[in-house]
Amino acid sequence: MQVLHFGAGNIGRGFIGKLLADAGIKVTFADVNQAIVDELNARHQYPVNVVGECATTEVVIGVDAINSQSDDVIDKIAKVDLVTTAVGPQILPRIASAVAKGLIARFESNNTLPLNIIACENMVRGTSQFKEHIFAVLPAQYHDWVNQYVGFVDSAVDRIVPPATSKTGDILEVTVETFSEWIVDETQFKGSVPIISGMEPTDNLMAFVERKLFTLNTGHAITAYLGHYYGLTTIRDAILDERIRLIARGAMEESGQVLINRYNFDEVKHIAYIEKILTRFENPYLHDDTARVGRQPLRKLSPSDRLVKPLLGTFEYQLCSNNLQIGIAAALNYRNHDDEQAIELADIIAKQGIDKAFSQISTIEINNPVIAKVAKIYDLMQKKDF
Ligand SMILES: NC(=O)C1=CN([C@@H]2O[C@H](COP(=O)(O)OP(=O)(O)OC[C@H]3O[C@@H](n4cnc5c(N)ncnc54)[C@H](O)[C@@H]3O)[C@@H](O)[C@H]2O)C=CC1
Ligand SMILES: O=P(O)(O)OC[C@H]1O[C@](O)(CO)[C@@H](O)[C@@H]1O
């Protein structure tokens, strides 16, 4: 089996590429970072530090790489069995055209073997969204053929992999936590579902996607934004701060009540899931900056993402949302001159005022009482009086 994986970054090298290579699959990375591409082709292997109570270094072998802006990508897509991505949601539209050209090349070479495409991004049904970008640039005459032979498989991906500086200066070295979870929608595959150790098929993907995104990512983002508010630069320091921990845990529990109502999750197991997440945030072997976890606050405040979507869920089931409101106010209060979206967020608030800005970003009606409640907390935070 052969895979083309877009994005030789933290998740690409540290999770998805590793898992596939460990399963004996031939992995080719496609990336825009030529230094990484060259190094992968020079060595065909790289080290992964798996850190937790027992630390090990595992070497991923047999890999190579191509530049994702070269025509090599088109040739590869014509031949491989699987395409995966871990590039970031904002990059998916940018690689759609290369993938569309690859699918045309596959059609022209009459390759009717099943191809499956899996986007491994922090998104709800990210592969389905990727398919829309691909179909927007793929001429209509190929749509039926692609629908017949190409599976667009949604997934949920969970492993904390912050950027880490190698002691030896190795640009390929990556450091990951022990925990990992990759869940794929078995109903969307073309051909038989491949058996790959570490890739778990399910027929109930939405429950897993929402459980991960609206628990781990909700708590993580709130920890990052409150950490920033209190002047703490790492997730570990932030989650060890009792004020932040209470709110992050409370927000995960509020979001959890929505999930329990929606998916009938077992309450005791869900609380245990939250506790496990809190220990993962505390991992003393990972250095994870609040700026990484809080990156792109406009995306994180959008209606279908980890902050506002759980809040909307509390309206649906008439549940309490005090901690989510604090977390959202902290996100609105996030300022970082190195983050384009944080700059844009500050600009929107300066021009429109907090009430209108939050209403516009979240799409919540301006008259909804939650707008005023969040704005009040935001104002206190602005005055450093929260
Ligand atoms: N790092 C983490 O702990 C986790 C990240 N994720 C998700 O995985 C995705 C990737 O995140 P990271 O690996 O952390 O980011 P990263 O920034 O470490 O890696 C992204 C890679 O994509 C490459 N890239 C950018 N433009 C490209 C293009 N046009 N073609 C090919 N490659 C391109 C970059 O050069 C980089 O190597 C994101 O959607 C993130 O939300 C999900 C779970 C955990
Ligand atoms: O990658 P994003 O969506 O910007 O968000 C950062 C999040 O990604 C992760 O790194 C992995 O899920 C989380 O640790 C964190 O909540």
Which helix (H) or strand (E) segment holds residue 200: the answer is strand 199-202
In the reported structure, the alpha carbon of residue 295 is separated from the centroid of ligand 1 by a whole-number distance in angstroms of 12
Q: What is the DSSP string of 103-132?
A: HHHHHHTT--S-EEEEE-SSSTTHHHHHHH
pLDDT band at 54 (very low <50, low <70, confident <90, very high): confident
Going by C-alpha positions, the residue among 33, 38, 43 that lies closest to residue 10 is 33
Rounded to an integer, what distance in angstroms lies between the CA atom of residue 349 and that of residue 331?
12
The reported pLDDT for the residue numbered 53 is: 81
Ligand nearest to the CA of 37: 1
Task: Say whether pLDDT at 227 is over 90.
Answer: yes
Q: 2-202 and 207-382: same fold?
A: no
Q: Where are the domains of the chain?
A: 2-202, 207-382
For residue 159, which atom of ligand 1 is closest to its CA?
Answer: 44
Least confident of 35-44, 160-169, 311-320: 160-169
Report H helices in 44-91. 72-79
The reported pLDDT for the residue numbered 249 is: 98
Cβ–ligand 1 distance for 89 under 6 Å, the answer: yes
For residue 94, which atom of ligand 1 is closest to its CA?
Answer: 29
**What ipTM does the predicted assembly reach?**
0.95
Q: What is the pLDDT of residues 284-305, one digit of tens each?
A: 999 999 999 999 999 999 999 9
Cβ–ligand 1 distance for 121 under 6 Å, the answer: yes
Three-state secondary structure of 174-196: EEEECCCEEEEEHHHCCCCCCCC
Enter the pTM of the model.
0.91
Phi, psi of 176 (to 5 degrees): -130, 160
The reported pLDDT for the residue numbered 165 is: 86
Rounded to an integer, what distance in angstroms lies between the CA atom of residue 304 and that of residue 219?
16
The reported pLDDT for the residue numbered 368 is: 98
Rounded to an integer, what distance in angstroms lies between the CA atom of residue 93 and that of residue 162?
24
In the reported structure, the alpha carbon of residue 51 is separated from the centroid of ligand 2 by a whole-number distance in angstroms of 18
Tokens matching residue 257? 């009540």
Task: Say whether pLDDT at 55 is over 90.
Answer: no
In the reported structure, the alpha carbon of residue 127 is separated from the centroid of ligand 1 by a whole-number distance in angstroms of 15
For the domain with range 2-202, which CATH number is right: 3.40.470.10, 2.60.40.3950, 3.40.50.300, 3.40.50.720? Answer: 3.40.50.720
Tokens matching residue 231? 């002047």
Mean pLDDT of 316-324: 98
Ligand 1 atom 5, closest CA = 11
Residue 288 · residue 160 · CB < 8 Å: yes
Strands 155-158 and 181-185: antiparallel
Ligand 1 atom 31, closest CA = 31
Please choose from 68, 87, 287 the residue to mutate so as to test ligand 1's pocket, defined by most ligand atoms within 8 A of CB: 87
In the reported structure, the alpha carbon of residue 318 is separated from the centroid of ligand 2 by a whole-number distance in angstroms of 28
In the reported structure, the alpha carbon of residue 260 is separated from the centroid of ligand 1 by a whole-number distance in angstroms of 30
Q: What is the DSSP string of 268-302?
A: HHHHHHHHHHHHHHT-TT---BHHHHT--HHHHTS
Share above pLDDT 70 across residues of the chain, in percent, rounded to a whole number: 100
Find the farthest-apart pair of alpha carbons in the chain and give their distance in angstroms, rounded. Answer: 66
Ligand 2 atom 3, closest CA = 122
Tokens matching residue 248? 């992050």
**CATH superfamily for domain 207-382:** N-(1-d-carboxylethyl)-l-norvaline Dehydrogenase; domain 2 (1.10.1040.10)
182: how many CB neighbours lie within 10 A of its CB?
21
In the reported structure, the alpha carbon of residue 217 is separated from the centroid of ligand 2 by a whole-number distance in angstroms of 6
Please choose from 85, 122, 301 the residue to mutate so as to test ligand 2's pocket, defined by most ligand atoms within 8 A of CB: 122
In the reported structure, the alpha carbon of residue 293 is separated from the centroid of ligand 2 by a whole-number distance in angstroms of 6
Residue 14 · residue 22 · CB < 8 Å: no
For residue 161, which atom of ligand 2 is closest to its CA?
Answer: 10
In the reported structure, the alpha carbon of residue 205 is separated from the centroid of ligand 1 by a whole-number distance in angstroms of 22
pLDDT band at 268 (very low <50, low <70, confident <90, very high): very high
The reported pLDDT for the residue numbered 276 is: 97
Cβ–ligand 1 distance for 358 under 6 Å, the answer: no
Ligand nearest to the CA of 84: 1
CA 267 from centroid of its chain's CA atoms: 25
Cβ–ligand 1 distance for 86 under 6 Å, the answer: yes
Q: What is the pLDDT of residues 333-375, one digit of tens each?
A: 999 999 999 999 999 999 999 999 999 999 999 999 999 999 9
Q: What is the pLDDT of residues 68-101, one digit of tens each?
A: 999 999 999 999 999 999 999 999 999 999 999 9
Cβ–ligand 1 distance for 8 under 6 Å, the answer: yes
In the reported structure, the alpha carbon of residue 88 is separated from the centroid of ligand 1 by a whole-number distance in angstroms of 5
232-235-239-244 Cα dihedral, nearest 10 degrees? 50
HSE of 218, CA atoms in CB hemisphere, 13 A: 34
Share above pLDDT 90 across residues of the chain, in percent, rounded to a whole number: 97
pLDDT band at 178 (very low <50, low <70, confident <90, very high): very high
Contacts (Cβ under 8 Å, ≥6 apart) of 140: none
Instruction: Return mean pLDDT, the chain.
Output: 97
